Amino acid sequence: MVLWLRAGEDARLRLGVVTSKKVHLRANKRNFARRRLREAYRRLRPYFHGDLDVVFVGRRAILDAEWTDVLKEMIKLAAKAGLISDENSAAAREELGL
């Protein structure tokens, strides 16, 4: 997955999810990828901080990835972008069993 951030006056950690036909030609597979990204964000959202909007771009590998790998990758991207502190990252990994 790819993480994009949007700053602005009204930004407040809202989520945007994009999956193109590059992920899969079948709509049900693209919807599955979007659902996985939204659910992972929903579980990790309490640990994030900042006044930014978040956009995740799904890639083909998310269809076959293990659920824990999706969560780990999202934590890694959020840490790299400065959305999650090291303390919150450790707390999220512990609470989610990663």
Residue 1 has pLDDT above 90, yes or no: yes
Domains contained in the chain, CATH given = 2-96 (3.30.230.10)
Tokens of 57: 């771009």
> Nearest 10 degrees: CA dihedral of 35, 29, 76, 43?
20
Question: CA separation (Å) from 40 to 8, 27, 66?
Answer: 24, 20, 12
pLDDT in tens, 9-33: 899 999 999 999 999 999 999 999 9
Identify whether the C-beta of residue 49 lies closer than 8 Å to the C-beta of residue 86: no
pLDDT in tens, 56-89: 999 999 999 999 999 999 999 999 999 999 999 9
pTM of the model: 0.91
